[in-house]
Amino acid sequence: MNPAQQAAVQATDGPVLILAGAGSGKTRVLTSRIAWLLDQRLARPWEILALTFTNKAAREMSERIAQLVDGSVRDMWVGTFHSIFARILRREAEFLGYGRNFTIYDSDDQLKVVQDCMERLSLKNGQLNPKRVRSAISNAKNAMLDPDTFATSDSGFIHEKLSDIYRDYAIQLKQSNAMDFDDLLLKPIDLFRAYPERLKVYQERFRFLLIDEYQDTNQAQFEVARLLAQEHANICVVGDDDQSIYGWRGADLRNILDFERTWTGTRIFKLEQNYRSTEVILEAAHAVVSRNQSRHPKRLWTQNGRGELIPLLVGEDESLEAALICRRILEHREQGGSLRDVALLYRTNAQSRALEEAFMRHGLRYQIVGGTRFYERREIKDLLAYLRLLVNSQDTVSLLRVINTPRRGIGDATIAQARAIFQREGLSFLDGVERFELLAELGRGAPGRLVEFGKLIHDLRSLMDSGKPTEVLELLLEQTRYIEHLEAEGPEGKARVENVRELQAALQHYEENSELGLAGFLEEVALVADVDGWDDKEDHVTLMTVHSAKGLEFPVVFVTGLEEGLFPLAGALDDPLQLEEERRLFYVAATRAMRRLFLCFARMRRRYGQAGGGMPSSFLDMIPEELLDRSQAGRLLGSGLRGSWRDAQASWQSDPHTKPGEPVRGGTPSWKPAPRVTSPPPPARPGFAGGELELDPAELPPPSRKPARADSKLGADRERAALLNQYSPFRKAEPVRDPSSQLAEIADPADLFPGAKVLHETLGKGVIIHLTGFGGETRVSVRFESVGVKKLVARLAKLRLIG
């Protein structure tokens, strides 16, 4: 351990701020510090509270502590903010008028409540959009504004309506015995303020508080930490202002920048030696982030050596960008590297699609982290909603979700009437269902169906009390005939059934390893993050957003989609604060790399299916020339053309943070606000082209946008397909000369690619639109001439490639 690290570990008394740059051994310091506290008998395990942002980070921390000290980790509270405070809230629920079986609402559930409130307040078709409302409520909560305070914080018609909805929303949640994510941080504050003696209990208990990724805390987290630590002032926070990337979620950089002012007597330790990356990588990352105004000045250094230059990979479009990356990965593997070494990072989840297709085509194993999550799939949410309703009978969102799923003839009209009746009688929905006489006015069929539903829930609940969680789920599936319901959906349903099986397996696993039952399972499920599902043991390339990648490291990293408007994102371009966050995001991305960093972009990228222009990211301009390797791209993307990027950009983008005296090469001095010009269009850049292709991409035919109607361009498509496939280890695409003259073999799923023309035994000719690889099964969307678009399982579809 270096002297700075050692000092940080041993400064056990009073407030401590550890400014830990990327790769500076932050986790090591944090865990050693805990081990030190225990070794020196300064603290006993249960007196330590360590808070992280992801379960993965928490797990890693626990494991590493366990290696340092023996055994006693079990009594220590190490977990995410959300899980730790959920735990505290369950214990203290009665003080807040909640039941300890409260449900945690995710953002989907929140939206349902908001919509319900808006309907009730007749604001459904106004200018307020439910998602906006949801985010307004969330922002209010992050700023610790309750409905009353929020109401007086601003004025105007819209704000008034927002306040009304927020107030109703809070009431609905309470009535449903439910808390949203934000509540998990806010309610503890309410509790501690209203019941100082409860606060005291936790203050006494947690004499040592440690917080990881402190730069990402919001005001509520700041406050709850302050409350807990104010007694002993043994608060140690670790963070890096350059890695604050959750501003949009309410993270407040001031928390870390002002820490020493909040806590008198703060000792600050700076960890600036990086053990992860090469000098080249660090310099590139620094070149971008150092333009920010809001940061502690600092500079990482390393003894890892200079390292290799950063290749620039330029693809004609997103598919070719992906193909170039695949080629590099294949090279890496040929040189004895493992796929596990490699990560692809992107700004938005939508970018994963083109990359995924390329990986499939090249036969490279990959795992996408994030995107649509398992627990957010419809079939999973349906079943979880049943289980949630069993645990918490007041959970309205879940009730409304399952009451007519699968269809049992209880529609909106019935529900609305029944709700009205029960409300009048002061009954909860499920209680009301048991009062048959009240239901008479609902007409002929409805009462019976409602009672039947009530009985279903009743039976399931009795089994929950006596049996195992897996048995409950089994009975649920049986009674609702849910599997049959899914199977009736056709091929789509088959995959959903698989997901249900996975849920059963997950529940079984939980049951075998925990005592906490159904309620515990639901809590765990509610609080998983995308990264938590990431499997770092398997040999595959990892694809994820930059946000998900924080805290991770990989020997080889590709940062993709470095186009102005994508990374940095368009919405951030004219807001200095957001632009700073984008730069930090780039900094995070680049500093994930240990040995090798690649920067990639595409000259053209389809968005919403429409072609869009890709100007190289302004970040690329900030990186000193001598760090980049344009040896291959350089043929066409040479120094002479560099200015033209900037010229083009300068005409429509100004960079408010470029310091005077540091004019950007070839551009207008940008501290003088550049006029926002919409025309003329950026100058054409002939021959500004594609990376490392051996074929000159300038001679490449443009990709046809709509393969289905591209008959006249078939030749072009074929050539393009050949290019895309040229690196495939399995096969060289060999287009059939005359489609009608011969019947091709049934294609191996790995041979299929978007744009390929195929022949199906019964459905006839079609064109592949795209491929997906969920659950290890390649699925293929084909637009058939006869029947339109069909989704098929590639393995079973017996498709033949035709010319």
Q: Give whichever of 528 and 722 is closer to DNA, judged by the CB atom.
A: 528
Instruction: Choose one: 194-202, 529-537, 614-622, 676-684; the region binding DNA (CB under 7 A).
Output: 529-537
| Residue 127 sits in the site that holds DNA (CB under 7 A) | no
Task: Note whether 414 binds DNA by CB under 7 A.
Answer: yes
Site membership for DNA, residue 462 (CB under 7 A):
no
Compare residues 227 and 579 and give the one whose CB is closer to DNA: 579
Q: Does 268 sit near DNA (CB under 7 A)? A: no
Q: How far is the CB of 348 from DNA (least distance, A)?
A: 4
248 touches DNA by CB under 7 A: yes
Residues 668-687 that bind DNA (CB under 7 A): none
Q: Can residue 409 be called a binding residue for DNA (CB under 7 A)?
A: yes
Nearer to DNA, 597 or 708 (CB): 708
Q: Name residues contacting DNA, limited to 207-246 (CB under 7 A).
A: none
Q: Is 450 in the site for DNA (CB under 7 A)?
A: no
Residue (43 or 771) nearer to DNA, CB = 771
Which residues lie across from 750 on neighbouring strands? none
Report in angstroms how near the CB of residue 88 gets to DNA at its nearest: 15
Question: How do 366-368 and 342-346 pair as beta strands?
Answer: unpaired
**291 vs 401, which CB is nearer to DNA?**
401
Q: 658: closest CA among 624, 616, 628, 618?
A: 618
Contact with DNA (CB under 7 A) among 323, 368, 410, 439: 410
Closest to DNA by CB, 193 or 706: 706
Backbone region of residue 470 per phi and psi (left: phi > 0; alpha: psi in -120 to 50; beta: other values): alpha
CB of 530: closest distance to DNA in angstroms?
5
Q: Kindly state the smallest distance separating residue 196's Cβ from DNA, in Å.
A: 27
Residue among 296 and 706 whose Cβ is closer to DNA: 706
Q: Can you tell me the distance from the alpha carbon of 502 to that of 513, in angstroms, rounded to the nearest whole number?
A: 17
Interface with DNA (CB under 7 A), residue from 27, 266, 294, 404: 404
Say how many residues touch DNA, by CB under 7 A.
Answer: 50
Candidates 380-388, 408-416, 624-632, 717-725; binding stretch for DNA (CB under 7 A): 408-416
Residues 87-106 that bind DNA (CB under 7 A): 106
By CB under 7 A, name the one of 193, 706, 731, 795 that touches DNA. Answer: 706
The DSSP bridge partners found for residue 601 are 314
For DNA, the binding residues in 465-494 under the rule CB under 7 A are none
DSSP string spanning 80-114?
EHHHHHHHHHHHHGGGGT--TTPEEE-HHHHHHHH
350, 440, 577, 746: which one binds DNA (CB under 7 A) = 350
> Do residues 341 and 625 lie in contact, with contact meaning Cβ atoms separated by under 8 Å?
no
| Cβ neighbours for 467, distance < 8 A, ≥ 6 positions apart | none
Chain centroid, CA 305 distance in Å? 33
Q: In terms of C-beta density within 10 A (0-12 exposed, 13-18 middle, 19 or more buried), how is residue 694 classed?
A: exposed
For residue 530, state whether it binds DNA (rule: CB under 7 A): yes
Given a contact cutoff of 8 angstroms between Cβ atoms, the answer to whether 567 and 527 are in contact is no
8-37 residues in contact with DNA (CB under 7 A) are none
Closer Cβ to DNA, 452 or 696, answer by number = 452
Task: Please report whether residue 770 would count as binding DNA according to CB under 7 A.
Answer: yes
Burial 713-737 (b: 16+ CB within 10 A, else e): bbeebbbbbebbbebbeeeebebbe
412 binds DNA (CB under 7 A): yes
Peptide bond connecting 45 to the previous residue in cis, omega within 30 degrees of 0 = no
Is 571 an interacting residue with respect to DNA (CB under 7 A)?
A: yes
When asked if residue 370 is in the footprint of DNA (CB under 7 A), the reply is yes
**Do the Cβ atoms of 106 and 528 come closer than 8 Å?**
no
CA-to-CA distance for 754 and 196, rounded, in angstroms? Answer: 63
769 contacts DNA (rule: CB under 7 A): yes
**Using rule CB under 7 A, residue 129 touches DNA:** yes
704 interacts with DNA by CB under 7 A? no
Q: Is 281 in the site for DNA (CB under 7 A)?
A: no
What value, to the nearest 5°, has the Cα angle with vertex 219 and ends 217 and 222? 65
Q: Please tell me the distance from the alpha carbon of residue 462 to that of residue 672, in angstroms, as a whole number.
A: 72
| Rounded CA separation 551/554 (Å) | 10
Tell me how long the chain is. Answer: 803
Binding window for DNA (CB under 7 A); candidates: 8-16, 163-171, 186-194, 605-613? 605-613
Q: Does 569 bind DNA (CB under 7 A)?
A: yes
Pairing of strands 178-180, 103-105: parallel
Kindly tell me which residue out of 545, 618, 654, 728 binds DNA, with binding defined by CB under 7 A: 545
413 binds DNA (CB under 7 A): yes
Number of neighbouring beta carbons within 10 Å of residue 710:
17
Q: Are 231 and 13 in contact (CB under 8 A)?
A: no
**Minimum distance from residue 561 beta carbon to DNA (Å):** 10
Query: Should residue 448 be labelled a site residue for DNA when binding is judged by CB under 7 A?
Result: no
348 binds DNA (CB under 7 A): yes
* 163 binds DNA, rule: CB under 7 A: no
Residue 354 in the binding site for DNA (CB under 7 A) = no
Strand partners for 771: 780
* Alpha-carbon dihedral 134, 137, 141, 143, rounded to 10 degrees: 110
The answer to whether the CB of 677 falls within 8 A of the CB of 651 is: yes
Instruction: Please tell me whether residue 611 binds DNA under the rule CB under 7 A.
Output: no
Q: How far is the CB of 370 from DNA (least distance, A)?
A: 5
E strands, 341-415, in order: 342-346, 366-368
What mask of x and - would describe binding to DNA in positions 173 to 192, judged by CB under 7 A?
--------x-----------
Our finding on whether 527 is near DNA (CB under 7 A) is yes
By annotation, the residues acting in catalysis are 26-27, 212-213, 243, 592
Tell the smallest beta-carbon distance from residue 745 to DNA (Å).
Answer: 27
Query: What's 69's DSSP letter?
Result: S
How far apart (Å, rounded) are the C-alpha atoms in residues 618 and 414? 57
What b/e string do you get for 361-376 counting C-beta neighbours within 10 Å, with b at 16 or more?
A: bbebebbbbbbeeebe
Going by their DSSP bridges, the two strands 628-629 and 310-317 should be labelled as parallel
- Distance from the first to the final alpha carbon of the chain: 63
Helix, strand, coil shares of the chain, percent, nearest 5, are: 50, 15, 35
For DNA, which stretch binds (CB under 7 A), given 252-260, 356-364, 421-429, 607-615? 607-615
Q: Does 67 bind DNA (CB under 7 A)?
A: no
Work out whether 411 is an interface residue with DNA (CB under 7 A).
yes
Site residues for DNA per CB under 7 A? 53-54, 80-82, 106-107, 129, 131, 181, 248-249, 347-350, 370, 378, 404, 407-414, 446, 527-532, 545, 547-548, 569, 571-572, 578, 607-610, 706, 769-770, 781, 789
